[in-house]
Amino acid sequence: MKYFVVSDIHGYYDQLIKALKTAGFDKDNPNHCLVSCGDHFDRGMKPVQVMRFLRGLPRKVLVKGNHEQLLVDLCERGYPKHHDFHNGTVTTVRAFSSKDDDFSESCQRALRRTEPFLSEMVNYFETDHYIFVHSWIPTFCQYSKPAHHIKGRICEFLPDWRNGSEEDWNNAMWGNPFQMAKQGLNQTGKTIVFGHWGTNEAWAEAENRDAYGSDAKFEPYYGDGFIAIDACTALSNTVNCVVIDD
């Protein structure tokens, strides 16, 4: 099977289609399967088109990202918090609802419309040689929440990571995967493919670039035991697509 792997589409439908076309993806080819490693909504202006396209594919794997969790949290809460504005989740809710709805009604409508899509999502997908996740597999750390705010935390590899609880997986999708890789937390014998954290930061460290300057690089980053693919689409205006035979 040939896997066409993307991540962090964030509602950028046109950039997704361009990336798949460039990579040679053919939805009618029985040997082609699309793997999307989470964060399908927020920031971009075409989340509805992204969802419709992905749901219509005959062969796909949809991995859950932290922005999917943010959407569910907001819709179940019924009112936005500060982070829901700057993350773009409020805009996503409005895109899936009617302009005449008040916000709590918008949340209910958005949740109803996205629930079939969200219910298709998995925490990870595994082949003979690869593990596809949003950020990383569950680990045991000295600190738990909020994992993405703690730098330099010491973690341990969990041999039974596949059976992590939903909370374990929700925590895992927030952390910095490059830090996890540096700590040697991939002892699976397989390559971990992830999004979540822009590859521009890895390229900046590897090639002494400015991660967010004019020489920033957003291409897929191939490291020791991992492949990072988040193109930081809101900044780069591109979606990365890597093709993997396995």
Query: Mean of the pLDDT values across residues 41-50?
Result: 96
Residue 33 CA to residue 36 CA, distance in Å, equals: 10
* C-alpha dihedral (93, 146, 169, 84), degrees to nearest 10: 0
Residue 43 CA to residue 88 CA, distance in Å, equals: 5
Residue 77 CA to residue 71 CA, distance in Å, equals: 10
pTM of the full predicted structure? 0.94
Number of Cβ within 10 Å of residue 149's Cβ equals 9
Query: Mean of the pLDDT values across residues 82-105?
Result: 92
Residue 10 CA to residue 6 CA, distance in Å, equals: 11
pLDDT number for residue 217 = 97
pLDDT number for residue 16 = 98
pLDDT number for residue 21 = 98
pLDDT number for residue 99 = 77
Query: Mean of the pLDDT values across residues 191-207?
Result: 97
pLDDT number for residue 175 = 87
pLDDT number for residue 136 = 96
User: pLDDT of 128-162, one tens digit each?
Assistant: 999 999 999 999 875 545 555 445 567 889 999 99
Give me the percent of the chain exceeding a pLDDT of 70.
Answer: 95
In terms of pLDDT, which residue wins out, 31 or 101? 31
pLDDT number for residue 235 = 95
Tell me the pLDDT of the chain averaged across its residues: 93
Tell me the sheet residues that pair with 2. Answer: 32, 245
Q: Name the band, by pLDDT with cuts 50, 70 and 90, for residue 100.
A: confident
pLDDT number for residue 143 = 53
Contact status, residue 94 vs residue 113, Cβ threshold 8 Å:
no
User: pLDDT of 101-135, one tens digit each?
Assistant: 899 999 999 999 999 999 999 999 999 999 999 99
* DSSP assignment letter at 41: S
